Amino acid sequence: MAKTIADIPETALASFRRGTVIPAHPLALTAQRDLDETRQRALTRYYLDAGAGGLAVGVHTTQFAIRETGLYEPVLKLAAETAADWSEARPILIAGAVGRTEQAVAEAGTAASLGYHAVLLSLAAFKGASEDEIVAHCAAVAEVLPLVGFYLQPAVGGVPLPFSFWRRFAAIENVVGIKMAPFDRYRTLDVVRGVAAAGAEDRIALYTGNDDAIVADLVSPYRLMRDGAPVELSIRGGLLGHWSVWVHAVVALLARIHAAVAADRVDLDLLALAGQVTDVNAAFFDVANDFRGCIAGMHEVLRRQGLLEGIWCLDPDETLSPGQAREIDRVCRDYPHLGDDVFVAANLERWLSP
């Protein structure tokens, strides 16, 4: 049976629309590259205890290859069950869906059967497709589960999508959010304008995935015109691979941002954090090497904290780039206030328990 936005639990939907921290959930593996269920559960427990308001599973940070290795459903199921068992708080659960329409619809169906509330829909398989074809694809998946749109930067496989697409996408009634990650101010604005033109700003929550501008996105209002009248939109939260680490500190940072925006007073110290967060992201995401070590970089931070045993990925060739570990050393040393090592150390044993 198709699920709609009305089926999302009221508290989870309210949190999502206010803006919350949604980590893109990594994949914990053993040295043999099998699923490490103990540490996979520990990661979910960590995110919930740190205050994350949602989980995104089966997305890029979880590794797309979980589909070829038969891990897509087991990993989604483990996260959903752990979230239900561990905490009374009910986060919004978002599953990644990829591929052409048949595959994406099937993955949305799997997610729905496991209790997920929405799908983050990748459009990378639609390079060269017409706008009509892509809109039809999105509408088909939306018939199964609410959608969170995903504008991925073309440099890493995303499809350029104009304002006209985002206006049409936002008009799909079962769209609940959009993650913007084109790493481009012009293209980010295309999304915001599209939502405003569709009159969907109350239904659709805007989330940053722009790792080069996380804080800037969250403190910047968009004041646009629609039919001769002003309309204001804002990016309220983040769904990020970067937010799969140091989550306790991230939750505090987002709360500080929300308070500053509500008071209409964003101070220079907060703005200075924007550059620091971007510098950290450059190290973790291996920007110097075209993002080749981005997943391994997040694993390395979690390994240092004890949450992961190693940095293994499903692809044996996917690992840290030369010099990346030194860069991670540097940002950990220079920006300890952005980390949460003390919080993790105090709770790690409990998270790793059966």
DSSP string covering 40-70: HHHHHHHHHHHT-SEEEESSGGG-GGGTTTT
Nearest partner of 274 among 215, 332, 208, 316, judged by Cα:
215
Which H or E run includes 218? helix 214-219
Residue 1: predicted pLDDT: 61
pTM greater than 0.85 (yes/no): yes
Residue 89: predicted pLDDT: 85
The size of the chain, in residues, is 354
Q: What is the Cα–Cα distance from 262 to 61, expressed in whole angstroms?
A: 32
For residue 84, report the phi and psi dihedrals to the nearest 5 degrees. Answer: -70, -35
Residue 153: predicted pLDDT: 82
Residue 17: predicted pLDDT: 98
Q: What is the Cα–Cα distance from 354 to 350, expressed in whole angstroms?
A: 9
Q: What is the Cα–Cα distance from 295 to 242, expressed in whole angstroms?
A: 10
Q: What is the Cα–Cα distance from 132 to 139, expressed in whole angstroms?
A: 11
Nearest partner of 65 among 313, 321, 349, judged by Cα:
313
For residue 322, report the phi and psi dihedrals to the nearest 5 degrees. Answer: -55, 130
Delineate the domains of the chain, giving CATH numbers in brackets. 5-264 (3.20.20.70)
Other C-beta atoms lying within 10 Å of the C-beta of residue 134: 18
Q: How do the pLDDT tens digits run along the chain, 354 residues long?
A: 689 999 999 999 999 999 999 999 999 999 999 999 999 999 999 999 999 999 999 999 999 999 999 999 999 999 999 999 998 888 999 999 999 999 999 999 999 999 999 999 999 999 999 999 999 999 999 999 999 999 988 777 788 999 999 999 999 999 999 999 999 999 999 999 999 999 999 999 999 999 999 999 999 999 999 999 999 999 999 999 999 999 999 999 999 999 999 999 999 999 999 999 999 999 999 999 999 999 999 999 999 999 999 999 999 999 999 999 999 999 999 999 999 999 999 999 999 999
Q: Which two tokens stand for residue 322?
A: 């030369």
Q: Which two tokens stand for residue 128?
A: 């060269």
